[in-house]
Structure 1
Amino acid sequence: MILKKFPAAILLFFMIIVSIIAHQRWFEKPANHVSHYINSQKWQISGKIADHAVYRYPKTYVIVQVIRLQKNEKSYDVYGKIRLCVWGNQSHLKKGLHIKFTSTISDFKNFKNPGSFDYKHYMNFHKNIDANAYANNKYIQILDLPPDYNPIEKIADDFCQKISQMIAQNASNESSGLLHAIILGDRHRLPKIVNEMFIATGTVHLLAISGLHMGMIAMTAFLCFRWLFRRSEILCLYGWTDICATIPSFLLVTFYFYISGMSPATQRAFIMISIFLLAQIIAKEQQSLNTLCFAGFLILVWDVRSLTSISFQMSFIAVFIIIIGFARLSKKFSFFSKHSPIGYILQLLVCSVFGIIATSPLSLHYFYHTSWMGLFTNLFAVPMVGFCILPLSFISISMIYIWEPFAIKLISINGFVADQLIALLKWISQYSAPFEIYCHLTFFEIFCCYGLILLCLWGYRSYKKYIWALIIMLIILDVMYWTHQRFFHDDVRVTILDVQNGNAAVIELPGGDCIMIDGGGISVSFDIGKHVLAPYLWQKKIKSVDTLILTHPDRDHLQGLLFIARNFNVKSVWSNGDQKQTELFKEWLSIIEQKNIHHKKIHANCKESLNNVDFTFFNPPEAHNNSKLFYDDTNNNSLVIQMKYKGSKFLFPGDIEHEAELFLAQNFCSSLKSDFLLCPHHGSQTSSTNAFINCVKPEWVLVSAGKHYKNNLPNPAVIDRYLLANCKIKRTDTDGAIIIELTKKGWDILP
């Protein structure tokens, strides 16, 4: 019955099946593809810069279409795209230039943790970028070849560059970033603090050009042109006003699509809006679902990869729920569809409500966050963007070559409006915390959510009560499962996370309490706590971390803990009392003070017990806490923690080196014996002495290390040392996150 009423759904279902099959075969590349040359060897790479360089402190990223690889006087003609990373701001690397440089070709790396974001798949499959390369700007040679430019593309790029310059010169830094994002699809200029503010207020969708933006342009243009053409009696007589209004509206949307960069997301939005414009002529209003399904079908025909695109999924489900919701409310409330100011306000409010309801499950699954503040903020943010900023932008753009002073004046006005929007959202963001939700939904939970939404909105009543009962039962079972997993287990679960640089261990105690030892850290530009540690905790349904333990204040152990301390209801912090005069450490102390977290300083011979789990500390020596450092470096002053549960022991030694290991061997040798040892200092040659290994006698040695370490950790000599001691070894750089369960009967290492 449903398929008869919505035949386009059959086409969409068919293309979904095709997309799934194509997805499985996408990574089968021909022999001359650049992905087959990913290895540790250096190549001389020749290629063309395929897109504008993007500078993100401290690096410039350039997409290069590879043409040829050379090595040992051998040359290979290849194809495929790589991302070239160069230190500093290299604005001279322009699109279309041919360049040559020497580099290894490396694969994109994922953090190998349960439920972590598949960055490699995202870059290969959706961005169509196959590998990474790194080069020093001094050794990048610009070849004496004419830039390879399509003439039409050259005109468009020059036009966009002129728009960009005018925006940058006539708007503040924050409003310039917003206008670049909304008009040109360039979000790289948007200050980080402004981007986070849009996320907190539920308006981040306004920053990415999508069907909403093109829809607002199309609707505004269509209404204006229809009003204009209705002045003509002839057009009204023949009923051609809608047809005549659709044509210039489509041309305007096409123009917007072209200057916004034609990214895959804007391509999908353009197809969808084009179909809806066409439907204004050949379809009826009640065929909106058919139109949507047909648009989805064409999008998947255009690019089968769209099915796994987050933006496509969220856009499609949002429009789908809005259409159903509007149809349902229009039947119940006659005043809802009236063309009056109150009617428009109500429609905007309902559109905002349905949009947030529709996208929240997917947002929580992919981004672990949604903000219901958007119910309010979208009431003014969407009209300001759709009916003020975008129209002013198009008028100013159209006047650039006709009357430049007027265009500059309009851009200045537009910048002022953007500044007011940012200021308003900045003020509201101070009160957004109660409306923000941080958690992770599984696919099963997403199914239940959308089942409930459709049951509330869909008009069909057959077997409805049975479906209600089924979904409610499934939700109850899901809640019972996670409640048991979190609070009613009697084992200790230790996860050594893959943070590439540093250490980070999550310990789940019986009864649900949670401890985190160290937080890893890579660089200033990447928040390991926000992007790696927190997602792992959220997908485990962990909302509170009771105790944070910092073994020592080096960046590769401290950085990730800052985000956890801010957002996970931390009750106490244990540390060795050591301090560093760095901005990161000062921020750490500031968070502890602001959040009123109890800070306990630990030294050797201290003991703690939590939920029948015992913690014994062997380092640093007590003299360290009297403001006299026992050792001259932070590594040797690391906390050394032994956790004991039902006869199983786990030793966390931080980054101690041979001096501290000698102290431990001399003073605590008989007490150090443990089943598991987290390898000291990531397997550095300055640690893991034979005396220390003979005292600990671990059955398993767990190494936390990653590819970014300059010293190629773990050191092969250290690994050999453990193997000679008959230790079994697991490594995060090769095995990913290591999960161990300590039970009453012993322990298990989960695959």
Structure 2
Amino acid sequence: MERPLLLPLLAFIGGLVVAGLADISLSARFLLPLLAVSLVAAFGARSLPFHAALFILIFLLGNLSLQPYLHPELSPSHVANVDSSQSIVMEGVVVSRPEMTDKGCRLLVQSERLVEADSDMPLTGKLLLFIDGGVGDILTGDLVRCRVRTRIPRKYGLPGEFDYPRYLAYRDIFATGFVASGDDIILMGRGVAYPLQRRIDAVARDLGRFMDTVVSPPENGILKALLLGERGGVAEGLEDAYARSGVNHILSISGFHVGIIALFLFHLLFMATRCSEFLMLHLNLRRTLLLFTLPVLVFYLFLSGAAPATARSVLTITVYVIALALQRETDPINSLLLAALVILGLHPPAIFDLSFQLSFLAIWGILVFAPLFTHPFAGKIGGVAEKGLLFLGVSVAATLVTLIPVAYYFHRVSLTGLVSNFIIVPLMGYGAVVIGFSALPFVYLAPSLAKFLLIGAAFLVRLSDWVIINLARIPVGTFIHPDRIDLFLFYSALGVFTFVSLRRLRYGGAALLAGALVVHLFCLPDTGAGKLRISFLSVGQGDATLIRFPGGKTMLVDGGGNARGGGSDVGERLVAPALWKMGISAIDYLVLTHPHPDHCQGLVFVAKNFRVREFWEGSEGGGYPEYSVLKEILAARHVTTRTVNAASQPFVIDGVRIEPLAPLQQSAEGGDDPSNVNNGSLVLRLVAGSTSVLFTGDIGAVTEAELLRRDATVQCTVLKVAHHGSRFSSSRPFLAAAAPRYAVISAGYGNSFHLPAPETVANLVRNGITVFRTDLDGTIEMSCEPHGRVVGIAATAGHFD
């Protein structure tokens, strides 16, 4: 067979996909019968029964290999089974290098025992600790003790949401914890485990500190990312610029970096040994020297933190080099298939790792399509121009072949990658990486030379940053929104084009599948067109609602955020991906009910990355930092700002009437007192025929009473419950006047405010109101016809299964 590994690889991947995506678990009792059938079929006269039995056997092995990650049998002493309602004191061994972030530090600890007042109890399982601040000199293999409150990872329940719990499960992590400060991590013993890795981590720490003394920010952060795998020092804005320019991959130590270093080492060794006539006569110098690069690459793997992407890259190069050394066939596609099979055999969940998918797709595209782009010019140009054309062909091939997966996972497409790769790869890859890597051994041998080399690498990084910052200003496309069907069609087209040998069938089949992909992406009608659709987004302890009007206009009411300010960017992490997944690239009306962070924070990212036509607010927001940044962005982008209050006339959008009910004009100056700001929330009543939805922001009983005193029309079909279900809102007189059929409460799961209040929920239920909660149900979707008939209101299915 021309591709002997294709069948087993497809079978193994098929079993993994069925287990991971369809959640179908097969039984291990079929394993021995299938093995027996395969052995018998191997001695048969026909190959088809053997191949069929082998395919099913490997398919079953793939399915079984993923089940321990999806349905683990955790012992009673596992840290995931600890009562999370109260903090515990635990001891454990650090099993990987502390990972610095812009918010603090992540520390992965293998639990060993639970420390109690009277006695200690055994504790098992990995615990991922989030620490506010650094952890000093704690490294891999150290025994640590800390007080921590554990937490079971849980999805929010959003369209397009990254499945973080499963991502952790694939790394054998089923519980996380938070530690207030690095000072709360007590070092109980140095290097009690993994002594070799601890020594290597200490070397990496010293190298990083040396870089900090030689190179200033932000270049030092990028150099440490390129050379040591430490991305925590990369400035947030700069990392976003690299992502928008389509070259974020350059900041991770992946196959590209490892390949460049391997090539650099090979040429260095070749130049040092080619002068020896003895070596040239007695050895196949090229193959031998390739083998000598492997120990250095393995050491560099551990020096850079042994990240999965780096490990896969080193393994792929190792497979290829060993095949060369054994004088086996080194067909690039077969080598790629072998590497994929070895990696998935060692770590089956890697198939769902985005870096694995994109790395192999990029290499696949380069091997298959780059020759098609460059072949017509081969031998006709020559010199630097031909090499430049080859590089451009490689960049085009890698970009095009990853376009659909990137759009699926990141919901954005940056074609500027064609330009930025052409500039950044030579500057950063062949320049900064090679020069910086050359400096590392001289940190100990000749520090002055190391400084000189690092300054040169930093200069190239500075040039790269300047290019990226300017390229990042080019708008990022959001014109395609692929789903799993599109991914299947894309992979099928690529597979047919690569592996079908008959030319006519290869081109015809690939064209047919590509046409089906285009039709599915762009030509299918929107099933929700002509309806009013409201999505109450589950964004944790915050508030965000997307309204899609019958004519296609959009309104986003609030954007979620951290109630106490700071924390991760909810707009970037939750709100924007949900909007992109739903095909939203522009917001016609951006509405802020009031400027508290849990309503305003997420709007900052939205305002920066979406086209916004109008901004509505009830009053000026005072001194809240997020609000000030939001207004600056809106002003810079020349967005029309409108103050809306009870005196404003109703608005009509695509036949839907928007009635402003609050705040009163005189309540515009709420000051910084939280109750005043809450009671000054913008209240809107949305009316579509016989159906109405009342948005109440965070108003309390004072504003509710004022609305009733003014005889404001608060009757509604759906009530967006005020202040996340606080007991100081949703008073009985107000609920009696509103008389909703449905109520939606936006709250974070297990939030520290203990919202919604039990008495508020009980009061709603007592009034015969159907209650939906984002903390328990995820995103709530509602749709109705323009005349008002409610088509449906329900929680998004499957998010918390």
Deviates more, 1:591-600 or 1:7-16: 7-16
Which residue is 2:691 aligned to? 648
Q: Deviations over 1:116-149 (max 9, x none)?
A: 11111112214x3321223445994636545414
Q: Does 1:722 align with 2:764?
A: yes
Deviates more, 1:705-714 or 1:445-454: 445-454
* Structure 2 contact 670–680 (Cα < 8 Å) conserved: no
CA distance in 2, matches of 1:57, 1:234: 54
* Structure 1 contact 519–560 (Cα < 8 Å) conserved: yes
Which residue is 1:447 aligned to? 488
Q: Does 1:513 align with 2:553?
A: yes
Q: Deviations over 1:560-609 (max 9, x none)?
A: 12222233222112221232122222222222222222222112153111
Counterparts in 2 of 1:319 and 1:637: CA distance versus 1, 3 Å: same
* Aligned mate of 1:40, from 70, 81, 85: 85
Counterparts in 2 of 1:268 and 1:110: CA distance versus 1, 3 Å: same
* Aligned mate of 1:291, from 324, 329, 335: 335
Which residue is 1:411 aligned to? 454
* Aligned mate of 1:67, from 112, 115, 121: 112
* Structure 2 contact 97–201 (Cα < 8 Å) conserved: no
* Structure 2 contact 5–337 (Cα < 8 Å) conserved: yes
- In the TM superposition, what are the counterparts of 1:584-663 in structure 2 within 5 Å? 584-604=626-646, 606-624=649-667, 633-663=676-706
The structural deviation recorded for 1:396 is 1.8
CA distance in 2, matches of 1:155, 1:147: 9
- In the TM superposition, what are the counterparts of 1:135-154 in structure 2 within 5 Å? 135-137=179-181, 140=184, 142=186, 144-154=188-198
- In the TM superposition, what are the counterparts of 1:359-508 in structure 2 within 5 Å? 359-430=402-473, 432-433=474-475, 436-437=477-478, 439-450=480-491, 460-463=502-505, 464-465=507-508, 467-469=510-512, 471-481=514-524, 483-485=525-527, 489-508=529-548
Counterparts in 2 of 1:9 and 1:74: CA distance versus 1, 3 Å: same
CA distance in 2, matches of 1:33, 1:625: 53
* Structure 1 contact 52–62 (Cα < 8 Å) conserved: yes
Counterparts in 2 of 1:303 and 1:361: CA distance versus 1, 3 Å: same
Cα-Cα RMSD: 2.8
Partner of 1:400: helix, strand, or coil?
helix
CA distance in 2, matches of 1:684, 1:631: 14
The structural deviation recorded for 1:421 is 2.4
Give the % identical residues. Answer: 24
Which residue is 1:271 aligned to? 315
The structural deviation recorded for 1:742 is 1.6
Which residue is 1:740 aligned to? 782
Q: Does 1:678 align with 2:720?
A: yes
Partner of 2:391: helix, strand, or coil?
helix
* Aligned mate of 1:125, from 170, 176, 181: 170
Counterparts in 2 of 1:142 and 1:660: CA distance versus 1, 3 Å: same
Q: Does 1:99 align with 2:144?
A: yes
The structural deviation recorded for 1:658 is 0.9
The structural deviation recorded for 1:246 is 0.9
Q: Does 1:343 align with 2:386?
A: yes
* Aligned mate of 2:621, from 569, 575, 579: 579
Which residue is 2:267 aligned to? 223
The structural deviation recorded for 1:657 is 0.4
Counterparts in 2 of 1:24 and 1:337: CA distance versus 1, 3 Å: farther
Partner of 1:548: helix, strand, or coil?
strand
Q: Deviations over 1:161-191 (max 9, x none)?
A: 2211111110121111111011111101111
Q: Counterpart of 2:427 in structure 1: which amino acid?
A: M
Q: Does 1:245 align with 2:242?
A: no
Q: Does 1:116 align with 2:155?
A: no
Q: Deviations over 1:432-488 (max 9, x none)?
A: 32x65575321222334455566777874233436524542453244232x4346xx
The structural deviation recorded for 1:681 is 0.6
* Structure 1 contact 330–337 (Cα < 8 Å) conserved: no
Which residue is 2:212 aligned to? 168
Counterparts in 2 of 1:207 and 1:402: CA distance versus 1, 3 Å: same
Q: TM-score when scaled to structure 2?
A: 0.86
CA distance in 2, matches of 1:524, 1:589: 18
CA distance in 2, matches of 1:61, 1:474: 40
The structural deviation recorded for 1:306 is 0.9
CA distance in 2, matches of 1:331, 1:726: 72
Deviates more, 1:325-334 or 1:544-553: 325-334
Which residue is 2:34 aligned to? none
CA distance in 1, matches of 2:745, 2:766: 16
Partner of 2:678: helix, strand, or coil?
coil
Partner of 2:87: helix, strand, or coil?
strand
Q: Counterpart of 1:428 in structure 2: which amino acid?
A: L
Counterparts in 2 of 1:50 and 1:124: CA distance versus 1, 3 Å: same
The structural deviation recorded for 1:242 is 1.6
* Structure 1 contact 226–244 (Cα < 8 Å) conserved: no
Deviates more, 1:733-742 or 1:361-370: 361-370
Q: Does 1:6 align with 2:3?
A: yes
CA distance in 1, matches of 2:304, 2:185: 30
The structural deviation recorded for 1:221 is 2.4
* Structure 2 contact 155–164 (Cα < 8 Å) conserved: yes
The structural deviation recorded for 1:673 is 1.4
* Structure 1 contact 325–457 (Cα < 8 Å) conserved: no
* Structure 1 contact 106–131 (Cα < 8 Å) conserved: yes
- Unaligned stretches of 5+ residues in structure 2: 16-60, 796-801
* Structure 1 contact 46–68 (Cα < 8 Å) conserved: yes
The structural deviation recorded for 1:231 is 3.5
Deviates more, 1:570-579 or 1:201-210: 570-579
- Unaligned stretches of 5+ residues in structure 1: none
The structural deviation recorded for 1:425 is 2.6
Q: Does 1:80 align with 2:125?
A: yes
The structural deviation recorded for 1:643 is 0.9
Partner of 2:275: helix, strand, or coil?
coil
Partner of 2:402: helix, strand, or coil?
helix
CA distance in 2, matches of 1:469, 1:86: 52
Counterparts in 2 of 1:627 and 1:326: CA distance versus 1, 3 Å: closer
The structural deviation recorded for 1:630 is 13
CA distance in 1, matches of 2:426, 2:368: 22
CA distance in 2, matches of 1:716, 1:627: 29
CA distance in 2, matches of 1:490, 1:747: 12
CA distance in 2, matches of 1:133, 1:628: 37
CA distance in 2, matches of 1:94, 1:267: 20
